[in-house]
Copies of this chain bind each other. A is one copy, B any other.
Amino acid sequence: MAEQMEVNSDIILDILGNDTRRKILVALSDEPMYFNQLAKEVGVGQQAVLRHLQTLEESGLIETYAEKSDLGAPDRKYYRLSDSFILTISLSEDHFSMKKRRIAESRQEESRKYYEAFDSTPEEMGSALYSLQENLSDVEEEISALEARLNDLYSLKQQILNRLHKIGVDNFEENERKILYAIVEESPMSIADLSDMIGEKESRIKDVITVMKSKMDKANAQLLFGNLK
């Protein structure tokens, strides 16, 4: 997959933390617009819209292009969305995560095949629209089913983390728990990895792990900590 400019999750959240910017993105998700159209659609002052458009453009979420005007007027500058992603934020008593996935180019190829199979692309416009409507509702239905199943899995994950945190609080000190959670949740491959993850010196981590091992059966300690090089 070609490397495009990728906007990171923190920046996206900084951007989306503003109501006007969200409105601009919603408007542009219907179609590209030029400035006056956009300002009317969003319904706040032109200066504010201009400022937010600059922020959005700098972030890489939108871009501009020029389109010829009729009647010999100067080219018109249009704004359009320029990134394509799904950001999932999950928050529960035992878990906070943000995950950003691109709507991947390679996968678009796959789904294009899938699409051709279930779209007959009728010639007549009304018929094409009706067919798009039906396809969209099929896709939405499958998305809902998968999201429900994912919801079960997130819930399951939450329960697993809940038990983990309970064992952590009942048996370990604060500094030990940090290491424990990182090992169980992230499966680091080495002490060096672990050191990067939690920002502690390797020697310190080794000492803490020695204490932790002393609290459990030797064979099981080996299972849990044994793969750390």
Give me the interface of A with B, judged by CB distance under 8 Å. 10, 12-19, 22, 25-26, 28-31, 37, 61, 80-96, 101, 103-104, 107-108, 110-112, 114-115, 119, 124-130, 132-133, 135-137, 139-140, 142-143, 146-161, 163-165, 167-169, 171, 174, 177-178, 180-181, 183-185, 187, 215-217, 219-221, 223-224
Contact = CB atoms under 8 A, between A and B. Distances in A.
9 tightest CB-CB pairs across the interface, nearest first?
Answer: A17-B17, A126-B220, A126-B216, A29-B96, A84-B92, A111-B156, A130-B223, A127-B220, A87-B89
Given A160-B136, A181-B30, A89 B16 contact: yes
A10 B163 CA distance: 32
Nearest to A213: B126
Contacts of A14: 17, 19
A13 B91 CA distance: 13
Contacts of A110: 152
A204 B139 CA distance: 31
Contacts of A223: 126-127, 130
A136 B111 contact: no
Contacts of A219: 126
Of A85, A107, A155, most buried by chain B (CB within 10 Å of CB) is A155
Given A30-B177, A153-B111, A91 B84 contact: yes
Contacts of A168: 31
A178 B133 CA distance: 15
Nearest to A152: B111
B81 A224 contact: no
A167 to B, nearest CB: 6
17 contacts: A16-B17, A17-B18, A31-B168, A82-B93, A103-B151, A107-B148, A107-B151, A110-B152, A111-B153, A112-B159, A115-B156, A119-B160, A127-B220, A128-B167, A132-B184, A139-B153, A143-B157
A14 to B, nearest CB: 6
Contacts of A103: 92, 151, 154-155, 158
Contacts of A82: 93
Given A80-B93, A115-B160, A127-B220, A10 B19 contact: yes
